[in-house]
Amino acid sequence: MKKIFAILLLLPTLYLVAVPVYYAGKSLRMPFTGINITIADSSEYHFITHNRIQNLIDNNYGKIIGKPVGEVRLSEIENDLSSLRELKVAEVYVTAEGALNVYADQRDPVMRVLANDGGDYYIDNEGIVIRRRNLYSPRLHIVGGNVNISQAMLDGVSVLDTSIKNSILKDIYYLVDYIKNDSFWSAQIDQIYVDGNNEIDLIPRVGNHLIHLGTADNFEGKLRNLSEFYDKVLPAVGWNKYSVINLAFSDQIVCRRR
């Protein structure tokens, strides 16, 4: 009687173990029925296309539609997609109907860098460097001049990382972040140029003059002083009176007449 009772108690446990194993095996034998690719912010940024993701899967794993799910390692597909520098997040999973779902979240660029070696790059909001690979160019502040992109940056180390030494890009990153979050300066400043002394020039959209910021030290205070100069002085003397507005000196503005 005790043995029968023990067997009756064991049956539900065996059921709870066997059923998931059965369905897990069944799902692995199920063929892929399709591929669904979702790219976040695809209407705003075009760094990654559906075709590029589809081609990556096809080239590395062949045509997977019709293949049993168990023959393809989803983690490997996810790792391959995560290796694309243009993506911040890549997630891969299979639906109950057998469709391979791919979700890709693109990086959010904050500036474009034209390096002095001729390279063309974007830097995103985490300081990650992305190569510009196609003709698509979102409207961003452009940084040029004496700017170098190191191998560590190309390997994925953020320009904000403490291991990145002797690079002005960290200062430029914070400067651009300040500019783009201020409605006036975002509209006024077009390009940023680094000269041979690692000092910064700003090229405005309005006014035929160059703004020499000097170093990035206290750039907030320098731009506040320039804002007052724009409000109080230039309307009286004219926006094209000066060729250079120099903010490099502490709490003063030095101008060069045209």
Domain ranges for the chain, please list them: 34-106, 109-257
pLDDT band of residue 28 (cuts 50, 70, 90) is: low
- CATH match for 34-106 among 1.10.3720.10, 3.40.50.1820, 3.10.20.310, 3.30.565.10: 3.10.20.310
pTM above 0.85, yes or no: no
Apex 116 CA angle, 115 and 118, nearest 5: 75
Sign of CA dihedral 162, 164, 166, 169: negative
pLDDT of residue 23: 37
For residues 115-143, average pLDDT: 90
Residue that is written with structure tokens 């045209």 in the block: 258
pLDDT band of residue 78 (cuts 50, 70, 90) is: very high
3-state DSSP percent of the chain in helix, strand and coil, to 5: 35, 30, 35
CA–CA dist 42, 182 (Å, integer): 26
Nearest CA-CA partner of 54 in 104, 107, 110, 112: 104
pLDDT band of residue 107 (cuts 50, 70, 90) is: very high
pLDDT of residue 187: 94
CATH of domain 109-257: 3.40.50.11690
Residue type, 164: I
Q: Contact, 190 vs 112, CB < 8 A?
A: no
